[in-house]
Structure 1
Amino acid sequence: MRALLQLAQDPRFVGARLGLVGVLHTWTRQLLYHPHVHYLVTGGGLTDAGRWRSSRPAFLVPQEPLALIFRAKLRDALKKGLFTAVDWRVWKKHWVVDCEPVGSGQAAFKYLAPYVFRVALSNNRLRQLANGQVTFAYKESATDQLKHCTLDAQEFIRRFLQHVLPPRFSKVRYYGLLSPS
């Protein structure tokens, strides 16, 4: 997020302060732990002079520099927090930052809105509890086919509970123009 705000300030790109809404999403369709944040980003921002400047159509900032800056900022933050146990090879890997234009943003809102109050698994995906095993349905992203996952009840509970956030933890955050401070 800070990397995106930094790059967007560059006059070669937007040259303005963007607004962002971030939604934390911690699960995969099979309830595996996969923390990531989806951001809705304004299609422009306010210049230092207080004027609105739109971004170019279908382009906000270059993805490769964004990935490099993001990785460096994350590494620095982890070092400050004494998280030095992260394997050094992580910082040598190619990181992907996926930025896609979504037109007016309606489709993105429709996709993200349910995640604001949704838990990792809804009741309608539960198929069976029998012999100490839980079966639930999920859509395989590659084929869009409905599949079933059967887990030992203990493993099912472990997977589900790792997505329960601490009390008062805000899974939606606002940055840049949309920041309350």
Structure 2
Amino acid sequence: MGGRTYECGSCGHNQVSYNSCRNRHCTQCQGVNKDIWVDNRKKDILNAPYYHVVFTMPEQLHQIIYHNQRLLYDLMYKAVAETLMELSKDTKYLGAQIGFFSVLHTWGQNLHYHPHIHTVVLAGGLTEQNEWRAASKKFFISVKVLSRKFRGKYLYYLKQYYRQGLLEFYNDAKINKNKEVFQDLLDKCYSIDWYSYTKRTFDGPLAVMEYLGRYTHRIAISNNRIISIDEDTITFGVRDYQNDNKKKTVTLLRSNSFAGS
């Protein structure tokens, strides 16, 4: 595919720009696609504050979700949408119809499977009288309420899918075909807290789309996180979210299935 080298006529600085490969894992190509996506979405945002809300799936469901990705990723979107819309319409919280964007992310910085949804929620909405009602500085629904509502929604529909025979089970997950085992799994998931996160983070409406664009067109490992590469391994930096976001390094063996190998 080749590329081009640019040189500054004053200082002699060189910069290489490679031709587009159109690969979804390429940082250069995805950067252009992100800019195009953001530009096309600008018409969808309002000049108002937004919140960042994250919905995370429990580890106990990871295997089943991985085996039924299209069906259960769609269910994540469905459960998130119903959770936000139903709670926001409740006068106990906001009493208005809100707007939001949602983006699915399926890995963490350490590249472990970690399905979760990032949602950008408008800080206010329209009442039944078609009047604008602004939210307070804090998100209008508590994290505990969000988590429990989302948990209930997702598990309710998951049980319906099981009864309808829509779920596939492979390898070690085949045991969940058994009705009693599957019910035990649901009971376990009902008994634990599901992680949700809310924060008012955006500085103006355009920043909302820039933030979303980084998720819709993000690759697994960006160039600035790569520390070293040799014939056998790749080492990159990660943040340990379970340990106060402390920085650490991860080294993986390169293989035919590894992105970029």
1:119 equivalent in alignment to 2:219: yes
Question: Residue 197 of structure 2 aligns with which residue?
Answer: 98
**CA offset at residue 112 of structure 1?**
3.8
- 1:66-85 superposed matches below 5 A: 66-82=146-162, 83=167, 85=182
**CA offset at residue 99 of structure 1?**
1.8
- Superposed CA deviations along residues 83-134 of structure 1, whole A, max 9, x for unmatched, are 5647131211122322223365566655443222121112343333335222
| Counterpart residue identity of residue 101, structure 1 | R
Q: Cα distance 1:31–1:155, how it changes in 2: closer, same or farther (>3 A)?
A: farther
TM-score, structure 1 normalization:
0.73
| Counterpart residue identity of residue 72, structure 1 | G
TM-score, structure 2 normalization:
0.53
Quick check: 2:120–2:208 contact (8 Å CA) kept in 1? yes
| Counterpart residue identity of residue 129, structure 1 | I
CA distance in 1, matches of 2:132, 2:203: 17
Question: Residue 255 of structure 2 aligns with which residue?
Answer: 154
1:23 equivalent in alignment to 2:103: yes
Identity %: 30
Q: Cα distance 1:136–1:97, how it changes in 2: closer, same or farther (>3 A)?
A: closer
Q: Relative contact order: is structure 1 or structure 2 higher (C-alpha 8 Å, sep ≥ 6)? A: 1
1:59 equivalent in alignment to 2:159: no
CA distance in 2, matches of 1:56, 1:127: 43
| Counterpart residue identity of residue 97, structure 1 | S
CA distance in 1, matches of 2:239, 2:149: 34
CA distance in 2, matches of 1:20, 1:77: 22
CA distance in 2, matches of 1:66, 1:144: 24
Q: Radius of gyration: which is bigger?
A: 2
3-state SS in 1 of match to 2:194: coil
Work out the number of aligned pairs and report it: 159
- Cα RMSD between the aligned structures? 2.8
Task: Point out where structure 2 has 5 or more consecutive residues left out of the alignment.
Answer: 1-79, 168-175, 177-181
CA distance in 1, matches of 2:191, 2:251: 36
**CA offset at residue 143 of structure 1?**
5.9
CA distance in 1, matches of 2:199, 2:224: 31
3-state SS in 1 of match to 2:197: coil
Q: Cα distance 1:121–1:127, how it changes in 2: closer, same or farther (>3 A)?
A: same
CA distance in 1, matches of 2:137, 2:129: 22
1:34 equivalent in alignment to 2:114: yes
